[in-house]
Structure 1
Amino acid sequence: MSTTASPTAPERMLVLACGALINELQAVVGTHELDHVDVECLPAKLHNRPSLIAGAVRERIGRKQAEGRSYRRILLGYADCGSAGALDDLCTEFNARAAEGDGPEITRVPGAHCYEFFATASRFAEMSEAEPATFYLTDYLARHFELLVWKGLGIADHPELAEMYFGNYERVVLLTQTPDGDERARVEACARAGAERLGLPLEIVETGYGELETALTEIAAPRRLRQDQVPA
């Protein structure tokens, strides 16, 4: 008597992302009940040296494989992020191997940076055209303004740098992912305090999770494994 392989749980996939996106990724995974998705983050400070991001991604994937934790699909929770195409080159390299049955398929979130994929490309282009001299904040940057902007750019020790960095800006725009509530109020207060330190008006634009959510939910659509494909 012949038997037909029955479908089982969806294959696991990995999101390997910037540490600045951990709250948003966990929220998307929880909201959409993506129980088969593992989220792992690299240090957010890599953005200070974007030429190192692709190498750090490659090293972490290699480490996962050495640990015996392999995935068929990996989503990079990065846009280009100043890597000058290095992340795209890495995806192309891995996907060529995947086509030959060697290693995971890898893709990244579309866009040049997180401001663009949170706002969506078309909306961010409209905002940039309306006022090119805009300093953008995400919720993460707003929460950590003191560390990442004030201290990170050296302004805390050299106040004269504030004018050098921000003298030509006309506004600060908070692209907020946080829904209404106490945490949203805290994020807005942080952004407002940061804008005041820079001597700039603040505008708040609610984006939600934008193309980050779209990319994750699309790639995480369950692909069912046959019983004979399930790892022991």
Structure 2
Amino acid sequence: MNGWDHLDLQCLPAIWHNHPERIVPAIEEAVAARRGAYDRIFVVYADCGTGGQLQAACETLGVQMIPGPHCYSFFTGNAAFAEACDTTAFYLTDFLARQFDAFVWRPLGLDRHPQLRDTYFGNYTTLIYLAQTDDPVLTKTAHKIAARMGLAFEHRHTGYGDLAQALATA
């Protein structure tokens, strides 16, 4: 994307968003392992449930990170998300639409205990699909997930929001 061939990307397991206590130690380890090989290191994680610990670790390590409380916010744009945040909405990204069963349905036990659906999602009214891409198949998948959860469906095309700008600036 963008013809950037001067970057290397080190991914951490995305499932760690379900275990944010694993994110900070993994970032610290990744930065320590690569510090000597790079002039700059940029962490492309928002807070992601670390309660500010990731920001503090990045400051201690002397590396930048993308600002924001979570990916839903930086894909939308942090200012726009703060303005339009709906606490009765379940947010879904392209990635999460692809991995919904592995990241949500099975870890919550809903594949084995579907009667728990309303316990988990009963306070939500809408599933808001924050689409980074224009993919009709993913949009249909997101719509099916909303129906499975018993939620109204809303589609918002966000693109990469603040992420694109943060990477371009970094």
Q: After TM superposition, is the score higher than 0.5?
A: yes
SS in 1 for 2:133: coil
Give percent identity, aligned residues only: 42
1:124 match: 81
Q: Distance in 1 between matches of 2:84 and 2:106?
A: 27
Match of 2:78, as an amino acid? A
Higher share in strand: 1
TM-score, structure 2 length as denominator?
0.94
Which of 169, 173, 194 is 2:145 aligned to? 194
Question: Considering only CA atoms, is the larger Rg found in Structure 1 or Structure 2?
Answer: 1
2:168 match: 217
Which of 13, 17, 36 is 1:47 aligned to? 17
RMSD: 1.3
Which of 157, 164, 175 is 2:112 aligned to? 157
Deviation string for 1:27-46 (max 9, x for gaps)? xxx22x22211111010011
SS in 2 for 1:42: coil
Higher relative contact order (CA 8 A, sep 6+): 1
1:185 match: 136
Is the deviation greater in 34-43 or in 169-178?
Answer: 34-43
2:125 match: 170
Which ranges of structure 2 fall in alignment gaps of 5 or more residues? none
Q: Distance in 1 between matches of 2:102 and 2:141?
A: 12
1:64 match: 34
Q: How does 1:6-21 map to 2 (within 5 A)?
A: none
TM-score, structure 1 length as denominator?
0.70
> Post-superposition shift, 1:189?
1.2
Moved over 4 A (4+): none
> Post-superposition shift, 1:62?
2.5
Alignment: residue pair count: 170
Query: Is the Cα–Cα contact under 8 Å of residues 28 and 61 in structure 2 kept in the other structure?
Result: no
Which ranges of structure 1 fall in alignment gaps of 5 or more residues? 1-29, 96-105, 220-232
SS in 1 for 2:43: strand
Q: Distance in 2 between matches of 1:132 and 1:45?
A: 23
Query: Is the Cα–Cα contact under 8 Å of residues 175 and 207 in structure 1 kept in the other structure?
Result: yes
Q: How does 1:104-123 map to 2 (within 5 A)?
A: 106-123=63-80
> Post-superposition shift, 1:61?
2.2
Q: Distance in 1 between matches of 2:140 and 2:101?
A: 13
Q: Distance in 1 between matches of 2:72 and 2:130?
A: 7
